[in-house]
């Protein structure tokens, strides 16, 4: 049975769904069996209320830009079909789920968690892996060497993609989302055993000048250590 995960991020008019702030952007990226499938879902939404000024500084989505975008009600069916039965992976899940639940409640629909397979919060995961450290998405990208150089503003689809890369590195430690074809289903890489008996290794002997230089260097080291080097005794035992 394939494992289906959806990385989700939202942008909002402000910080409080309870106070009436609304979702203005949703980005979703699908992963099947820990590989990006290429399927994404992305909406800009008309929130039917003004943005907070501080929020616009974060996401750059102005009221004028959002004015002609669809309402959440118009995209709800497509969104919920995309999320159905998948493990939904979100950074600071309580925030995004709270906003999604508020939007669903306005439409008389049940909360998100009853519709999806599970919700995983990568902020909780990061705090367990890196206790006492900053675990924002930017901080995790820097710590796990995920390139976020294009992230001058927050964007839901861009952030969902960064989160997918961060999640893979937190849960597996590989260098990218691309899994080598030689990797087995168990997550192990098959390495061919090499029979070194097949190789004939040349032996290069030192000439007289090289041997003398080597002996002089060993004598200097022995003198510098106050006669405490071990190789003179070892050579005498062999002789």
Domain that holds residue 218: 204-238
Q: How far apart are CA 156 and CA 160, in angstroms?
A: 6
Is 180 inside a domain boundary?
A: no
Indicate if 31 and 138 belong to the same structural domain. Answer: yes
Q: In 10 A of CB 140, how many CB atoms?
A: 27
Indicate if 133 and 224 belong to the same structural domain. Answer: no
**Residue 214 bears catalytic tag:** no
Both tokens of 91, joined, read 């950074």
Structural domains in the chain (count): 2
Q: How far apart are CA 144 and CA 8, in angstroms?
A: 20
What is the rounded average pLDDT of the residues 37-43?
96
Beta bridge partners of 121: 90
Is 183 inside a domain boundary?
A: no
Residue that wins the pLDDT comparison between 175 and 76: 76
pLDDT surpasses 60 at 207: yes
With pLDDT > 70 as the criterion, what percentage of the chain qualifies?
87
Q: Which residue among 124, 152, 171 closes a domain? A: 171
Which one is catalytic: 42, 91, 154, 214?
154
Residue that wins the pLDDT comparison between 3 and 102: 102
Provide the total of helices (H) and of strands (E) in the chain, helices listed first. 9, 5
Both tokens of 133, joined, read 């450290």
pLDDT surpasses 80 at 197: no
């Amino acid at each position: 049975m394939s494992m289906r995960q959806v990385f989700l991020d939202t942008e909002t008019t402000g910080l409080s769904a309870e106070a009436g702030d609304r979702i203005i952007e949703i980005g979703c990226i699908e992963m099947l069996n820990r590989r990006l499938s290429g399927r994404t879902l992305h909406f800009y939404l008309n929130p039917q209320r003004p943005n907070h000024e501080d929020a616009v500084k974060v996401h750059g989505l102005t009221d004028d830009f959002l004015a002609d975008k669809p309402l959440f009600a118009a995209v709800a069916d497509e969104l919920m079909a995309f999320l159905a039965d998948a493990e939904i992976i979100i950074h600071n899940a309580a925030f995004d789920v709270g906003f999604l639940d508020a939007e669903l409640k306005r439409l008389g629909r049940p909360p998100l968690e009853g519709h999806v397979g599970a919700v995983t919060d990568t902020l909780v995961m990061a705090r367990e892996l890196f206790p006492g450290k900053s675990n924002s998405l930017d901080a995790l990208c820097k710590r796990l060497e995920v390139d976020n150089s294009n992230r001058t503003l927050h964007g839901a689809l861009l952030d969902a993609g960064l989160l997918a890369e961060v999640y893979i590195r937190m849960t597996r430690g590989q260098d990218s989302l691309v899994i080598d074809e030689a990797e087995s289903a168990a997550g192990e890489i098959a390495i061919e055993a090499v029979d070194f008996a097949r190789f004939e290794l040349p032996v290069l002997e030192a000439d007289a000048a090289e041997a003398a230089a080597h002996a002089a260097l060993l004598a200097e080291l022995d003198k510098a250590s106050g006669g405490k080097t071990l190789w003179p005794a070892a050579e005498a035992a062999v002789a």
